[in-house]
């Protein structure tokens, strides 16, 4: 095994660990909606939510890095050029995450001054980490990009997938720099902040997961490189063609010029197209190979990624992307419904698929299957879809009662929040959240024991 692949194992383990912390923080955040007195005066909703969404970004990023560090040396046929540095930085990265989490929990907030920005919280949703840690993330990502681009340069072997990946890493990193400026004008601040959030999840991350899924499809189903690369080019062209100006769907009500209503509505309405393309691609590949695979969990998670990306990102996003609808849906639990479905479908499922592929290689399993992965697959996906459904009901209640009927007054806000539809949605979400958490436990159990458990799953080593 290459050193880079050993590093990948560390990243994937860290990712799964943070996924667990994220789930606990999610359950806590959800519980405040049922019992607002929960941990009163000790830990408020905002901190739990920050922990929830920041660990989400970090575990997914670590998952992507793990996947790429895993596939890359095989792609190049050699060790990565900056592997030593990357190995050291893994510990720096993980240590920084722990320090930031402790500061969030213990210190929580500071004054609105430079010290707070540097050491406590930058106050920008999803990228709240204080500046010192944000700089650390930039360094880690820069070394990661150097390993990809530098190794390609040294070997001179650039495949279609690595070419797309290299080009993608540049904007991905540059957009993260957007986490730094503290702009006091809220419209201007949001205007630039969306460059980070929207252009990450609806452009650069989509390209990244496209590359990772291309490698996975080749490994999982034996699809030819020519086919996956052709699809990748089409998908990337469509993602960027629709997603870049689709940014406008966040500029409707923040004080940006009104031409964004048309631009954002139009381009983002086309955003589901590449996501539909990805579903067609995955189903086509599975069909031509008669769904023959030695790794069913990886295959199912890959299919969940394709469908989840399309449904959660494409369909749920489309539902609220036209300004005529977004006027009512904006910033309600409807948004939260879409956010969960999309991040889960587009990114989390993809990372889980790669993890099963890695485990197969790691433990030299000729066949990866069993009952436990099915339980975790079912509980995680049903739990997630249940939460998404409940959130949608709560979100609709807000859109109707608070916005359409009540005209967005403060009283209407309270009426929306206290409507039985809203309240029951919040309770239902929590129950499905528990199911999701049970699925997480089953997942970890399965990952730790698969291939070591049943004699049916004879490993090549054991057979010898």
Residues that bind Fe ion (CB under 5 A): 198, 202
Contact residue for ligand HEM among 8, 15, 56, 388 (CB under 6 A): 56
Q: From start to end of 206-258, where are the E strands?
A: none
- φ, ψ of residue 203 to 5 degrees: the values are -140, -80
Using CB atoms, what's the residue nearest to ligand HEM? Answer: 317
Q: C-alpha 358: how far from its chain's center?
A: 19
**Cβ closest to Fe ion, residue 184 vs residue 324:** 324
Contact residue for ligand HEM among 5, 16, 47, 49 (CB under 6 A): 49
Contact residue for ligand HEM among 127, 141, 190, 320 (CB under 6 A): 320
Residue 62 within binding range of ligand HEM, rule CB under 6 A: no
**Cβ closest to Fe ion, residue 296 vs residue 338:** 338
Q: What radius of gyration, in Å, describes the C-alpha atoms of the chain?
A: 22
Distance between CA atoms of residues 433 and 115, nearest Å: 37
Residue 340 within binding range of ligand HEM, rule CB under 6 A: yes
**Cβ closest to ligand HEM, residue 10 vs residue 124:** 124
Distance between CA atoms of residues 306 and 298, nearest Å: 12
Query: CA 118, 17, 28: angle at the middle one, nearest 5?
Result: 75
Residue 255 within binding range of ligand HEM, rule CB under 6 A: no
**Number of residues near ligand HEM (by CB under 6 A):** 40
In eight-state DSSP terms, residue 38 is T
Q: Find the farthest-apart pair of alpha carbons in the chain and give their distance in angstroms, rounded.
A: 72
Distance between CA atoms of residues 284 and 289, nearest Å: 9
**Cβ closest to Fe ion, residue 75 vs residue 202:** 202
Least distance between Fe ion and beta carbon 422 (Å): 25
Q: For the segment 81-100, give every residue that binds ligand HEM (CB under 6 A).
A: none
Contact 347, 301 (CB under 8 A): no
Contact residue for ligand HEM among 10, 131, 249, 403 (CB under 6 A): 249
Who contacts 421 (Cβ-Cβ below 8 Å, separation ≥6)? Answer: 393, 394, 396, 397, 401
Who contacts 7 (Cβ-Cβ below 8 Å, separation ≥6)? Answer: 69, 83, 86, 87, 90
Of these partners, ligand HEM, Fe ion, none, which one is at the site of residue 336 (CB under 5 to 8 Å by kind)? ligand HEM
Contact residue for ligand HEM among 437, 442, 447, 450 (CB under 6 A): 437
Distance between CA atoms of residues 406 and 421, nearest Å: 16
Q: What residues make contact with ligand HEM under the rule CB under 6 A?
A: 23, 26-27, 29-30, 49, 52-53, 56, 125, 201-202, 249-250, 268, 271-272, 309, 313-314, 317-318, 320-321, 326, 330-331, 335-336, 338-340, 342-344, 346, 348, 433, 436-437
């Amino acid at each position: 095994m290459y050193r880079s692949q050993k590093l990948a194992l560390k990243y994937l383990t860290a990712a799964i660990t943070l996924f667990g912390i994220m789930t606990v923080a999610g359950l806590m955040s959800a519980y405040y909606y049922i019992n607002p007195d929960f941990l009163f005066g000790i830990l408020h909703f905002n901190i739990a939510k920050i922990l929830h969404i920041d660990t989400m970004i970090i575990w997914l990023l670590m998952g992507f890095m793990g996947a790429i560090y895993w596939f890359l040396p095989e792609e190049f046929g050699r060790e990565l050029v900056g592997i030593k540095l990357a190995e050291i930085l893994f510990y720096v990265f993980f240590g920084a995450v722990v320090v930031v989490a402790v500061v969030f929990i213990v210190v929580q907030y500071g004054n609105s001054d430079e010290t707070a920005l540097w050491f406590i919280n930058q106050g920008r949703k999803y990228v709240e980490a204080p500046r010192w840690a944000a700089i650390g993330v930039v360094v880690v990502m820069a070394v990661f990009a150097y390993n990809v681009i530098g190794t390609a340069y040294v070997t001179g072997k650039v495949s279609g997938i690595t070419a797309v990946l290299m080009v993608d890493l540049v904007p991905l990193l540059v957009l993260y720099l957007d986490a730094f400026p503290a702009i006091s004008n809220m419209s201007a601040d949001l205007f630039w902040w969306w460059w980070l959030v929207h252009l990450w999840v609806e452009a650069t991350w989509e390209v990244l997961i496209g590359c990772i899924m291309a490698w996975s499809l080749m490994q999982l189903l034996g699809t030819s490189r020519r086919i996956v690369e052709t699809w990748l080019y089409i998908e990337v062209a469509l993602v960027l063609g629709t997603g870049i100006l689709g940014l406008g769907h966040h500029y409707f009500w923040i004080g940006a010029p009104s031409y964004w209503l048309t631009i954002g509505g139009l381009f983002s309405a086309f955003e589901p197209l590449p996501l539909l393309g990805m579903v067609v691609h995955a189903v086509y590949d599975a069909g031509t190979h008669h769904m023959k695979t030695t790794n069913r969990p990886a295959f199912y998670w890959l299919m969940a990624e394709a469908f989840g990306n399309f449904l959660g990102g494409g369909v749920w996003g489309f539902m609220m992307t036209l300004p005529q609808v977004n006027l009512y849906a904006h910033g309600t639990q409807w948004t939260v419904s879409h956010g969960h479905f999309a991040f889960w479908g587009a990114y989390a499922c993809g990372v889980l698929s790669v993890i099963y592929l890695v485990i197969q290689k790691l433990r030299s399993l000729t066949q990866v299957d069993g009952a436990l992965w099915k339980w975790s697959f079912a509980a995680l996906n049903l739990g997630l879809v249940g939460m998404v459904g409940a959130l949608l009901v709560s979100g609709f209640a807000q859109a109707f009662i608070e916005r359409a009927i009540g005209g967005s007054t403060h009283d209407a806000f309270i009426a929306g929040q206290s409507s039985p539809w809203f309240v029951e949605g919040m309770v239902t979400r929590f129950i499905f959240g528990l199911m999701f958490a049970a699925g997480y436990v089953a997942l970890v159990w399965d990952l730790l024991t698969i291939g070591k458990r049943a004699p049916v799953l004879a490993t090549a080593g054991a057979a010898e």
